[in-house]
Amino acid sequence: MKRFAIISENSLARRLMGSAGVIGMVLLGGIVLILSTLYTSQIVTILDNELDRTVTTLQRAVDADASGRIIIDADREPSDPFFETPLSGRYWAVLMRNEAGRFMSVAQSDSIWDGDLPWSAETLDAIAQTPGQTQRADGVGPGGEPLRMVGQAMILSALDQPVVLVVGFDRSETDRGSFRFTLILTLTMAALGIGFLTALLLGIRSALAPLRRIEADIADVRAGRRTLMETDYPREVLPLNLELNKLLEHNRGIVERAKTHVGNLAHALKTPLAVMKNEATGKTPLDDVVRRQIGAMHDNVQHYLKRAGAAARAQTVGARCEVGPVLDDLARLFNKLFAERQILVSVDCAPELHVRLEKQDLEEIAGNLLENACKWADSEVCAKVRVSGAMLDIWIDDDGPGLSPDGRIAALKRGVRLDEAAPGTGLGLSIVTELADLYEGTFVLDEAPDLGGLRASLRLPRA
């Protein structure tokens, strides 16, 4: 039996896990984005503040003499030793326009070496036009490193044009710190998300456990291992459990009433048929016709009453019967009935094999097949039971002459007997086919592989 799958397709668990996963990814991804953005912004702000302090220090060190020459006070210029190390990643420069109108460096830190800070002429023009205002930019430094730069123009009384001060710091460490923070935060949120989904899955398993119990209880009821479902369920699913029990009781009541009606109908029809048969005792052609029609009516009544009774029993939830004891009892019976012909009926069936049938119907099916096999057998009839997945195969083999393929088809038709010379109901094996269909099984006739006669092969659902 296919068990309840916690994350099977089209399941509540899958929907809950899917929606929680999507929402969790969106929320955790948003948290990662927001926090990493805030962290990056904060460390860039710290770097910008240090750049601003360096620009302020450089302003105090820059002056001009009466001839308009830029003078840098060595005691006041930024004292960071990195400014004296070539391509160290920390740079400053003082720029002025030359006669051609282009900005040229008039003083710069030793760290710049023979390179330039990556400011475009348009940006420098914009800085020069707004003295006192700070402009920031990112670029690539003389050593190929990423730079965070600050530019600011200042007015000197001895000059007729503003001086542009530029400071740039390597931001590689800042970027690496931001990347490490984002990576750690992403891994942390991923672990948090996996932990949350795991906890949610365990919670769903625990919450849906009563539904799996209901499934198991229903399977037990259907297999006949219990008549009603248990009632010790959580409050949320207890109403469903109680309604299912009421439905089972209602179904059982309907079946019992159907059995009663079938029995009443049988008794109601027997008396009129018996009266008509007793009255038609003459030897006229009319009496002969009446007797034949009464016999046909009796056979039809018996056939359809059996079918109605079997249909009512087939609808009973929990029908269950052990195969071995039924076959053993029938084998003993037919061994006695056919003792004069020395027919040996044997049973090959493992213990504890059950079918989803009422015992009465299994007895009728197996009895019909064994009786027909004994009528045609020379000396041996064997009933075998084999497991085939969720089904049981019941084979009734004999060592008689068997039947041709056309004869097997004809034998299953209603009104045909396998042994026309022997007494019988005239209903043939069609009742076996109909009973097998009612219980979701199959019935076919084939050749017996071991005994060489006929095999009646019946496949019924296991219980």
pLDDT at 188 over 90: yes
| pLDDT of 267 | 64
SS3 state at 151:
strand
For residue 458, what are its two tokens?
Answer: 């019946």
Helix axes 359-376, 285-314, angle to 10 degrees: 130
Topology of domain 65-171, CATH: Beta-Lactamase (3.30.450)
- Tell me: the pLDDT tens digits for 89-124? 999 999 998 888 889 988 899 999 888 888 888 889
The type of residue at 329 is D
| pLDDT of 311 | 54
| pLDDT of 316 | 52
State how far the alpha carbon of 333 is from the alpha carbons of 328, 338, 364, 378, 419, in Å. Answer: 9, 9, 13, 18, 20
pLDDT at 439 over 60: yes
Task: Quote the mean pLDDT of the chain.
Answer: 83
Residue with tokens 């053993």: 328
Tell me which residue of 349, 452, 340, 360 sits closest to 399, measured CA to CA: 452
| pLDDT of 318 | 56
Residue with tokens 């259907």: 222
* DSSP 8-state assignment for residue 69: -
- Tell me: the pLDDT tens digits for 189-235? 999 999 998 998 888 888 888 888 888 888 777 766 777 777 788 88
| pLDDT of 421 | 40
Question: Residues 273, 301: contact at Cβ < 8 Å?
Answer: yes
pLDDT at 154 over 50: yes
- Among 179-193, 222-236, 358-372, the range scoring the smallest mean pLDDT is 222-236
Give me the count of residues in the chain: 463
pLDDT at 364 over 90: no
- Tell me: the pLDDT tens digits for 307-320? 655 555 555 555 67
- Tell me: the pLDDT tens digits for 53-98? 999 999 999 998 878 888 888 888 898 899 999 999 999 999 998 8
Give mean pLDDT, residues 363-368. Answer: 88
Tell me which residue of 297, 317, 313, 224 sits closest to 263, measured CA to CA: 313
- Tell me: the pLDDT tens digits for 13-51? 888 888 888 998 999 999 999 999 999 999 999 999 999
Question: Residues 197, 21: contact at Cβ < 8 Å?
Answer: yes
The percentage of the chain sitting over the pLDDT mark of 90, rounded to a whole number, equals 40
Superfamily holding 321-461? Histidine kinase-like ATPase, C-terminal domain (3.30.565.10)
Tell me which residue of 112, 154, 106, 138 sits closest to 40, measured CA to CA: 138
| pLDDT of 415 | 54
pLDDT at 377 over 90: yes
The type of residue at 48 is D
Strand-pair category, 344-348 with 380-388: parallel
Question: Residues 317, 248: contact at Cβ < 8 Å?
Answer: yes
Give mean pLDDT, residues 248-255. Answer: 76
Question: Residues 186, 32: contact at Cβ < 8 Å?
Answer: yes
